Structure 1
């Protein structure tokens, strides 16, 4: 007796996978939108809740510290108890924390809500990549799925700037957070129904409590060390002590993993050169890309005089071209030429974009100096980010999917945090020097941003050289 394959069943399975992918990407989009929407709303939040200038930074920092610090641990928890369970917990907590932020009437409540958002975002985000790889194991389908995810990651920040400007100037900053509540509840209901149940390895298979404490404390302190350098009260000796402490914690974590019978982070994953090199490239790529978006928003507002709505709309070329490349063109080219070739192409577009905008003058034109750079960034990140993520996830065993996903997300967040903090500090320092030399404020600001853009170009160039020399050619 021969069995026949029901085309309707095949189509139903494909539709279910598509809806599952949509739910996963909706969560990732909420996470990225939340960070950038809040960036645009910060001045209004400061005025309404009475934040000090130093305290306002913690609206961002409390989220970053919790998110980056917990990603590796969250990824491993996904391997142990099941990715679906961890994703649902993270999505639920992120939604509840968004409600808390939206109704906050004091700085303390908002900062606490942002910290809880970071915890929920880490839990959900850490397992998303592993779940996508599980849904789409075939190279061609995986390239298309990663294109959707890559668009979400690459263009979410630009979309957030646009949405943030609209929300802040129409219905008020609380809706920057409250908008997550209906989206989160709908996504939670769909996730419960659509995502396939997954059995984990069991807590006994890898509950390295000491390792979890060391890596979470080390990563959180490292992010705190980075972000506090931009504060006016930051002092070099204190920063060096914090950096040494975070390095000691992370070194102790690595030594612990080398000896633990059930390590939180199996160091064997770093023996795969493709995974290790690709994650380094992800750090550099996100440092350059997110630093670029942050500095460009400042240039538009403080040099060209754009308001928050104009600033958001100015970013449109990046997400539009990013969508075209990551959702349509990129996946087809990836299947034909391989992920490495697409990564090289994306980085080759990103480097000149950053050099181009570094030359924008104090009396610059949006159409001549900014829009072309944004278009190139949209093309570069649209093909480069999905390719880098696919390479970083390549070679991971199914039992390490959550670990590899958490590691890659940690690389993304570390890159974004480091890039933004370092470039902002560099720009502020250069601006201060130019002011002390007697330059007009707008000229000093422009010079500071120019130096930051050149530094971002150097990061992207380093990623390009590394991809060309250390990554093996790959067809997927």
Structure 2
């Protein structure tokens, strides 16, 4: 079908096709962070990874992705979001092919790093393109809800898909599946995605350099903390460098005419709270998926396939929450709904933390996962909406970059912190018994529940700020009428 024929169709159909293209890219790139989780033992045996180097299959992707996200967002604002989106998808597709056929451990890690690089440029444009495609507030809220459900479910979908491929084919297909998806996205994107005009300006090189190095140092330091401990120089040096570089970034941005991240985006209480809250709940949930998949295999003895199937209910719950939010959001305060959702997540994670060596999947794991799915699913949708609240079209790319940066940082920070917690819970034993391992997972989930408690406190602040804003608006309106 030609581009002119597609554009001649009703706007609603064209917008739906745009949404499908964007979601295809978002799902492909977001689930890639978790799709190899169930396959790590198989990859280790086939490519000869050591225990220490195995984590770099994940870390190479996370480190580059997290470090370059804000730069990728700014590039889309200046060069055109569709152009940057297509370039990112093309590089990601090639990198996925490289990873899928990697003959050595070094090639696989390099390909994963290239995937992270491509994702950092493509993903910030997805949400920005969605916002410009759906200008009407009601339609935009529905589109963002679906987009958020895909993000929220991607980690569990990755585990499901990875488990199926590992069990029946090969772990390589978990990476190679991106090639046909990427090809389909590349075929449709030039036809249906709207292009944004190039903006006059230049890349804020000092800002780009300080934030990229700062984010990379932060993620690297957290990764090292999980393996070397918090007191190790390999942890302290990069974390200290990250602090200096991030402070330097703020100082640079205050003086830049065209900053890579306009600091005015943080002046809005809902947006700032949404970024922080997202870091907390993604940190809790991403880590839960990581450790729960190990609990199901290492303690309960489930196969990779059965482990993947165990995540289907919570994945379905994430997508079901799109319809729940669509029904409740117009009838309730979104901030109040967020607080209620986070309260449910606290309950679900606290319930899950009661596992032990004899826990059965049903009902002691399934039911808490369903409660978590409701709370997390609603919260992710609302936080994406809050993260883009009242954003000017010119700043849509930067705001999208911040939403995705918070998401990526949350996963990195949560996994690093809770890996340290797990090590302490099992007393860093080389070969702990099954009961000790199970207890370690329970402790991890207890700490993850504290992440949700902190997120609940942030949600309460967002609700308070919203009510104050409504109160001021009411007073102002009354004065104007008088």
Q: TM-score, normalised by structure 2?
A: 0.92
1:26 and 2:24 are equivalent in the alignment: yes
Q: How far apart are residue 345 of structure 1 and its match?
A: 2.6
Give the equivalent residue in structure 1 for 2:41.
Answer: 43
Task: Write out per-residue CA displacement over residues 218-263 of structure 1, whole angstroms, 9 at most, x where no aligned residue.
Answer: 1011101111222258852331122101111111111111122222
Give the equivalent residue in structure 1 for 2:413.
Answer: 418
Which of the numbers 439, 450, 457 marks the counterpart of 1:447?
Answer: 439
User: How does 1:105-254 map onto structure 2 within 5 Å?
Assistant: 105-202=103-200, 205-231=201-227, 236-254=232-250
Task: Write out per-residue CA displacement over residues 274-325 of structure 1, whole angstroms, 9 at most, x where no aligned residue.
Answer: 2111111111111111112112112211221212111111111101111111
Give the equivalent residue in structure 2 for 1:291.
Answer: 287
CA contact (8 A) 2:133 2:194 kept: no
Within 2, Cα distance between the matches of 1:11 and 1:336? 33
Give the equivalent residue in structure 2 for 1:370.
Answer: 365
- How has the CA–CA distance of structure 1 residues 400 and 209 changed in structure 2, closer, same or farther, with 3 Å as cutoff? same
Within 2, Cα distance between the matches of 1:325 and 1:163? 21
Within 2, Cα distance between the matches of 1:212 and 1:34? 25
Q: Secondary structure at the match of 1:231?
A: helix
Give the equivalent residue in structure 1 for 2:403.
Answer: 408
Q: Secondary structure at the match of 2:427?
A: helix
Give the equivalent residue in structure 1 for 2:271.
Answer: 275
CA contact (8 A) 1:161 1:312 kept: yes
Task: Write out per-residue CA displacement over residues 11-61 of structure 1, whole angstroms, 9 at most, x where no aligned residue.
Answer: 711011011011111111011221211111111111111111111111111
How large is the Cα RMSD of the aligned pairs?
Answer: 2.1
Q: Which runs of 5+ in 1 are unaligned?
A: 1-7
Within 1, Cα distance between the matches of 2:276 and 2:286? 16
1:462 and 2:442 are equivalent in the alignment: no
CA contact (8 A) 1:274 1:392 kept: yes
Q: How far apart are residue 335 of structure 1 and its match?
A: 2.5
Q: Secondary structure at the match of 2:223?
A: helix
- How has the CA–CA distance of structure 1 residues 429 and 139 changed in structure 2, closer, same or farther, with 3 Å as cutoff? same
CA contact (8 A) 2:49 2:105 kept: yes
Q: Secondary structure at the match of 1:336?
A: coil
Q: TM-score, normalised by structure 1?
A: 0.93
Give the equivalent residue in structure 1 for 2:79.
Answer: 81
Q: How far apart are residue 336 of structure 1 and its match?
A: 2.4
Within 2, Cα distance between the matches of 1:268 and 1:430? 42
Give the equivalent residue in structure 1 for 2:341.
Answer: 346
Within 1, Cα distance between the matches of 2:390 and 2:412? 27
Q: How far apart are residue 341 of structure 1 and its match?
A: 2.8
Within 2, Cα distance between the matches of 1:131 and 1:338? 27
Task: Write out per-residue CA displacement over residues 51-101 of structure 1, whole angstroms, 9 at most, x where no aligned residue.
Answer: 111111111111001100010111111111111111111111110100010
CA contact (8 A) 1:143 1:334 kept: no
Q: How far apart are residue 156 of structure 1 and its match?
A: 1.4
Q: Secondary structure at the match of 2:226?
A: coil
Within 2, Cα distance between the matches of 1:10 and 1:461? 50
Moved over 4 A (4+): 8-11, 232-235
CA contact (8 A) 2:224 2:234 kept: no
Within 1, Cα distance between the matches of 2:355 and 2:17? 43
Give the equivalent residue in structure 2 for 1:3.
Answer: none
Q: Which runs of 5+ in 2 are unaligned?
A: 1-5, 470-482
